[in-house]
């Protein structure tokens, strides 16, 4: 049941990204181009996502188990530290350069285009480098 729910959730999320235009790098770059021909439509998508997620997170924070009986594992960190800032900068730079972030890039793999494949390969390499650095630190 858990795998089926993960599949359904992933499909709904991916379809939502495609419908919202998040899988189109030109649309994303238009959103990020504040000094040029700014496209505010993705801001509306983000605002809509926040409006849906905020009450859901409030309800989830009061629960000990998910609807499927799994333990709730919500983030607990509240401190803004060096790792968060550097990670956010790296994420933003990658998003601005490529027009993809991880979710939309994975959804874009279904198109057969080369760009999301290159992005996902680079993302996996970056994740591997991060893991190596973290293992050496601990």
Nearest to 106 by CA among 19, 2, 22, 3: 22
| Cα distance between residue 58 and residue 55, in whole Å | 5
Nearest to 17 by CA among 99, 121, 135, 130: 99
Look-up of token digits 């998003």: 95
C-alpha distances in angstroms, 82 versus 41, 86, 126?
Answer: 31, 6, 18
The 10s digit of each residue's pLDDT in 21-76 is: 889 999 888 988 889 889 999 899 889 999 999 999 899 989 999 888 889 888 88
Grouping H, G, I as helix, E, B as strand and the rest as coil, residue 65 is: strand
Q: What pLDDT shows up at residue 81? A: 93
| Cα distance between residue 6 and residue 1, in whole Å | 9
Which structure tokens are listed for 22? Answer: 């998040």
Domains of the chain, by residue range, sit at 2-137
Q: What pLDDT shows up at residue 138? A: 86
Report if pTM > 0.85: no
- Can you name the residues that pair with 71 across neighbouring β-strands? 65
Look-up of token digits 């998040």: 22
């Amino acid at each position: 049941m858990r795998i089926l729910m993960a599949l359904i959730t992933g499909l709904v999320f991916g379809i939502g990204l495609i419908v919202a235009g998040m899988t189109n790098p030109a649309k994303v770059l238009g959103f990020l181009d504040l000094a040029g021909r700014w496209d505010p439509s993705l801001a509306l998508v983000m605002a809509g996502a926040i409006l849906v997620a905020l009450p859901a997170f409030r309800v989830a924070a009061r629960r000990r188990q998910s609807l499927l009986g799994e333990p709730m594992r919500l983030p607990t960190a509240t401190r803004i530290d060096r790792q968060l800032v550097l990670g956010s900068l790296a994420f933003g730079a990658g998003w601005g350069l490529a027009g993809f972030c991880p979710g939309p890039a994975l959804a874009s793999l279904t198109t057969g285009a080369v760009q999301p494949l290159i992005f996902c390969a680079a993302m996996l390499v970056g994740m591997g480098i991060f893991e190596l650095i973290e293992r050496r630190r601990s």
